Amino acid sequence: MQVRFWGVRGTIPTPGPNTVRVGGNTSCVEVRTENNMQITVLDAGSGIRLLGNSLLKEFPDGVHGNILISHTHWDHIQGFPFFVPVFGRSNRFVLIGQKRVGTRLEEIMAGQFIESYLPYAYKTLPADLLVKEVATGERFLIGDSTVVTTASINHPGGNLGYRIEHDGAVFTYCSDIGHPDDGFDENVLKLAYGADLLLHDAHFNTMEDRHRFSHWGHSCWLEAAQVASEANVKTLALSHFSPDTTDDMVDEILEKARKVFPRTIVAREGLVVNLPMGDTLP
């Protein structure tokens, strides 16, 4: 299994000199399984734009894949209208996620493609797009042998965490999670248990901020490290950094997180990780 980070920022794209090393694009991760031919994308933040360009170069005659949407906060879907494969007739994508506050997933995705926001409509996109809603706790197969398990994790308006398993390797994606004050979200622990790699929200730089803004539904890097340890994961990737977190701040966070959970890495834009990982951290 190969995991590539295309967007690791939360809230809003954050270009500029202070974010060049970690990256400024919002949430998007690509997972390849089944000899690199099965494409599973997690979230469609602004990072998905560059992924789209890369896929068209690799598959000029048509690309097929699945896009798992954790939730439809804007930083997780805003790149979708700029994902160029949607403009090609020979491309096919299945969008997978859940309803949000009673509104169908397809309706929410299509809602970005209306005047006054964009000059083209979702219905006119030439690619073959299928939207599939899943329930929390649902387990389904992608391709022949990639197993995906979902679970609701705590975040305002709802959020799905994903556990992807293939050929003995496990990648868990828990972006945007607010843990209870007296422990950790049980579903995050379950999804993450024994994973080769856990991607976890690290929005807050201090527990003080995390408690002050607990209604935002995000985590501090310290909670990510504690969850990784509790769930017995092999490696932790910190992600979904606040737009105000600079590269230098991420360096400091990583140093501190490694004191709690030594096998911690930063999900940097462009970083590729092969699972299961060797002893050396990237």
Residue (32 or 49) nearer to Zn ion, CB: 49
**Shortest reach from residue 218's CB to Zn ion, in Å:** 8
Residue (49 or 73) nearer to Zn ion, CB: 73
Torsions phi, psi for 221 (to 5 deg): -55, -30
**Shortest reach from residue 22's CB to Zn ion, in Å:** 15
CA 100: distance to chain centroid?
17
The 3-state DSSP class for residue 6 equals strand
Q: Name the nearest CA neighbour of 93 among 125, 66, 124, 60.
A: 66
DSSP β-ladder status, 38-42 and 169-174: unpaired
Round to whole Å and give the CA distance between 169 and 69. 21
Residue (73 or 210) nearer to Zn ion, CB: 73
Residue (62 or 243) nearer to Zn ion, CB: 243
**Shortest reach from residue 120's CB to Zn ion, in Å:** 25
Q: Name the nearest CA neighbour of 78 among 7, 129, 16.
A: 7
Torsions phi, psi for 260 (to 5 deg): -95, -45
Position with the least CB separation from Zn ion: 73
Residue (10 or 52) nearer to Zn ion, CB: 10
Round to whole Å and give the CA distance between 263 and 12. 28
Is the Cα dihedral 98, 73, 221, 47 positive or negative?
A: positive
DSSP β-ladder status, 160-166 and 169-174: antiparallel
Contacts with Zn ion, residue ranges (CB under 5 A): 10, 73, 75, 176
Sheet hosting strand 235-239, strand order edge to edge: 139-142, 146-152, 160-166, 169-174, 197-201, 235-239, 264-266
Residue (45 or 85) nearer to Zn ion, CB: 45
Round to whole Å and give the CA distance between 264 and 29. 18
**Shortest reach from residue 183's CB to Zn ion, in Å:** 21
**Shortest reach from residue 239's CB to Zn ion, in Å:** 10
**Shortest reach from residue 277's CB to Zn ion, in Å:** 25
Residue (165 or 176) nearer to Zn ion, CB: 176
**Shortest reach from residue 48's CB to Zn ion, in Å:** 14
